[in-house]
A and B are shown apart, each in its own frame.
Chain A
């Protein structure tokens, strides 16, 4: 079972370049998330999606865009890379619960991350 797959694992970008971080899950999960993890700062939610065609901003969405055309895929786009976006990016997915609160209690399954450096 692949679970959540992220590509690439590492990438170095120049300031102003653009790129797309790929995320795919094979568990038929409704909910998908993008987080960034900075040293000593825990995980910050960038964007999330409750299903195909539906996305919403998280805590730190500026400088990023997402799309969710299928249940399986949830790519994250950086249009104009900035040094402040140097981080480790994690994609996660979870099942839908019986209601919104129970959905929040569902375990999240994470990919292994993409380490992104912007110079």
Chain B
């Protein structure tokens, strides 16, 4: 069974701080996706990384896919209150199209 473990589970920081959240597995994935979910809404895709070692930037967010395609990280520079939410990583199953979701990192950025 493929599993994705996210850490930390919860993070509370001040506006302007930097942070990194992690998504780890012992399994290889064909892709890694990061979603952000706000209260009362469904997850919304932020990025998909496909190639081992790939780095993608989305404004203040930097996503990296591990060389072995087993892990990923999300780094946020100068966090803002608008970054508050639940960050979910999701792995594309190499054996098919079903996606495996991690339990998420709940981020709270205080003004």
Contacts and interface: CB of A to CB of B under 8 A. Distances in A.
Interface stretch (A35-43, A62-70, A75-83): A35-43
B31 A104 contact: yes
Interface string B77-99: 00000000000101011101111
A45 interface: yes
Contact of A110 (B33, B44, B93, B96): B44
Do most interface residues of chain A lie in helix, strand or loop, or is the interface mixed? mixed
Interface size class of A (residues with CB under 8 A): 20 to 34
A104 B45 contact: no
Nearest to B1: A59
A44 B104 CA distance: 12
B43 A110 contact: yes
Interface residues of B, number: 25
B103 A104 contact: no
Contact of B97 (A42, A103, A107, A109): A103
A4 B45 CA distance: 14
A104 B98 contact: yes
Contact of A105 (B31, B43, B88, B101): B31
Nearest to B91: A104
Given A42-B102, A42-B104, A100 B33 contact: no
A24 B48 CA distance: 25
Nearest to B45: A107
16 contacts: A31-B97, A40-B103, A42-B88, A42-B101, A43-B90, A45-B98, A92-B42, A101-B30, A104-B31, A104-B97, A104-B99, A105-B92, A108-B43, A109-B45, A111-B42, A112-B42
